[in-house]
A = this chain, B = another copy of it.
Amino acid sequence: MQPITIADVAAATGVSRTTVSHVFSGHRPVRQETRELVLRVAREMGYRPSAVAKSLRARRTNTVMIVIPDIMNPFYPGFARGVQDVVSQQGYHALLCNTDAVEASERGYIEDALARRVDGVVFVGFRVPISDLDILTEVGTAVVAVGPAPEETMVDTVWLDDVAFSREATAYLLRKGLGPVAHITGPTDTAVEVKREIGFRQAHADAGLEVHEDLIVSEEFTHQGGIEGMTALLAGPTRPRSVFCANDLIALGAMRVAHEHGLRVPEDIAFVGVDDIDMAAIANPSLTTVRLRIHELGTICGRRLLERLNGDWTGNGRSMALDAELVVRESA
């Protein structure tokens, strides 16, 4: 029940704790026989160095915290895995935290990160401004956030240019000249939603076309949201010929409603989503969508974090935009 300590091993072998320590760390040479003795006895006794004690001493926990809204949202598993694939290679473990995009929760995890002395934090926040993460960098914690960078900070940021790819996707639909393009957005209080709508409008402006205001509806970022959005759209006065949906779940839901109304996709109505979740390729018809390269977003965050952790970068926060690619499939 009581874990074996380095002192137990030292006593059992007749060497000092220092020597046992160095046998395990390799930080200084130990005579061959001594090392083998220590190793053998340690194994027999079931000794495992305590990472807790090591952390206290070394002021390093070899732990990073990944803060996201919800691992059940299909967007995040790939992201989390991307971060982990990178940082685990250097021996870091990851605390995964779900905030549900609740402000108090986001703030709570910042406090936890501080209290637990994690070495780094990858933060995907919806309610807390990135500048509020400075409290972490001030005590030397490496921080990478997903989102737009504030003026002055030590937080590295990586972000997806929502405006750019939404504009591009909408332009693609507009170029087809099918007629009115609708937009089913997410909740209007999210930064992401706002930007996707801006891109939608810019594409219209670029093409010298008017936005059909009655064809913009706001829903949850879910399959159900898509169902409700599309139902509302079809009940309206203007019949859209294509729909730019703020994410794939919405698009899938919307497409299903269109199908139930006897509309053919893409002949009668075309759909474009955002995310390229697995479902997009599997759906029937398969969904044309903006591929966000989420796993790569994660690996980039992980790499940035490691650069900080290894001291390869100690300057101000760097900002980087990851571009997205329109994947044309059957739905548009």
Contacts and interface: CB of A to CB of B under 8 A. Distances in A.
Interface of A: 1-3, 46, 48-53, 55-56, 61, 63, 70-72, 74, 76-78, 80-81, 84, 93-98, 111-112, 114-117, 135, 138-140, 223, 252-253, 256, 259, 278-279, 281-284, 295
A5 to B, nearest CB: 11
A268 B77 CA distance: 36
Contact of A81 (B63, B71, B253): B71
A117 B223 contact: no
Given A52-B52, A279-B282, A282-B223, A72 B61 contact: no
A281 B48 CA distance: 47
A213 to B, nearest CB: 29
A48 B114 contact: yes
A80 B56 contact: no
A97 B138 CA distance: 29
B80 A71 contact: yes
For the complex formed by this chain, how many copies does it contain in all? 2
A117 to B, nearest CB: 5
Contacts of A1: 138-140
Contacts of A283: 282-284
Given A52-B55, A93-B116, A77 B72 contact: yes
A1 B331 CA distance: 53
A136 to B, nearest CB: 11
A80 B84 CA distance: 15
Contacts of A63: 95
Contacts of A46: 135
Contact of A70 (B81, B256, B259): B81
11 contacts: A1-B139, A2-B139, A48-B111, A48-B114, A52-B116, A71-B71, A93-B112, A96-B96, A223-B282, A256-B284, A283-B284
Contacts of A282: 223, 252-253, 256, 279, 283
Contacts of A81: 70-72, 98
B278 A74 contact: yes
Nearest to A135: B46
In the A-B complex, list the 3 residue pairs whose CB atoms are closest, starting with the nearest: A96-B96, A51-B116, A71-B77
A77 to B, nearest CB: 5
Given A72-B295, A95-B96, A223-B281, 12 more contacts: A46-B135, A50-B56, A52-B55, A70-B81, A71-B80, A72-B77, A77-B77, A93-B97, A93-B112, A95-B95, A223-B278, A279-B282
A84 to B, nearest CB: 6
A112 B94 CA distance: 12
A103 to B, nearest CB: 17
Nearest to A85: B98
